[in-house]
Amino acid sequence: MTDPLHLASFLHNSAVQTALWIGALAAILNGSIGIFTVLRQHSFAGHALGDGSSAGGAVAIFLGSAALWGFLGMAWLAALAMGALGLRRARERDLATGVVLGATLGISALFLYLDVSSTQASGATVEVMFGSIFALDPQLLWPTILLVGVAIALIVLLYRPLLLIAANPDLGRAAGLPVRRLELLYLLLLGTAAALSALSIGVILATALLLGPAASALRLARRPWQSFLYAQGIALTAVLGGIYLAFMSYYWSDGASWPVSFFVVLLILLLYLASAALASRRRTKR
């Protein structure tokens, strides 16, 4: 039987299976939390958290401990620092984020260098910066399911108050919401999302997964909850499609497969452009 799409070998490959599951979980979480990141214009902070978690990943590889906890620990630490430092004054936020980001990047430069020179882990840079989704440890799956499950449950419970304080924090305060605690919760969820996607599709591409699907969904949604579903759908399409295309590229380009991250970002960009076109067509029709 011929199988030009190689679907059978794709789905029966255990490395691919792990990649699909973890990629899907990261996509669902990033799509949802990205809604708040785009609304709050926190793109730089979201990106910085992903980059910052890379320092944790590099340290974890150096210490020989599980990368997941390195990524997560650093992202949560950075999220708490951001909450303490500069949520209030937006003018300062940009600079403070940039300076902290510079420091964490410097630290990850050091530990990646140490990783390479002391442990012969020559792939550490690539692993941390671009992710290595086909080489993920299947044991990561359960902690990831747990983290994403808890995060999604919190978002489902709290998306309405979170939307209100993103719209106008004073309206939230007047409605009796604990605005500071909710903002901190959002930052911790953002850190979790950044760490997970940094681990799966790599630190820098995490930004596209966080922002692209959410920004596309916010254009198209007509109801509050729709924006979350659309964002999750777009993120899932991009990640799963990207993994499949990367797998297929092995057959197209005799042996040298192209990186997953390239295809994921390409799909995110195309879907973003499509949503812009769709939204403008909808507007002219009306």
Give the CA distances from residue 273 to residues 4, 47, 135, 226, 276, in Å, rounded to whole numbers and listed in that order. 29, 21, 31, 19, 5
Nearer Cβ to other proteins (107/188): 107
Nearer Cβ to other proteins (12/223): 223
Nearer Cβ to other proteins (9/226): 226
- Minimum distance from CB of 148 to other proteins (Å)? 19
Nearer Cβ to other proteins (11/92): 92
Taking the C-alpha atoms of residue 83 and residue 173, their distance in angstroms, rounded to an integer, is: 17
- Minimum distance from CB of 28 to other proteins (Å)? 18
- Minimum distance from CB of 18 to other proteins (Å)? 21
Nearer Cβ to other proteins (204/234): 204
- Minimum distance from CB of 20 to other proteins (Å)? 19
Interior/surface letters 143-157, b for 16+ CB within 10 angstroms, e for the rest: ebeebbeebbebbee
- Minimum distance from CB of 108 to other proteins (Å)? 8
CB of 28 within 8 A of CB of 156? no
- Minimum distance from CB of 1 to other proteins (Å)? 32
Nearer Cβ to other proteins (146/269): 269
Taking the C-alpha atoms of residue 200 and residue 189, their distance in angstroms, rounded to an integer, is: 17
Nearer Cβ to other proteins (51/183): 51
Token reading at 222: 């007509």
Give the CA distances from residue 274 to residues 168, 205, 209, in Å, rounded to whole numbers and listed in that order. 30, 20, 16
> How many Cβ atoms sit within 10 Å of the Cβ of residue 50?
30
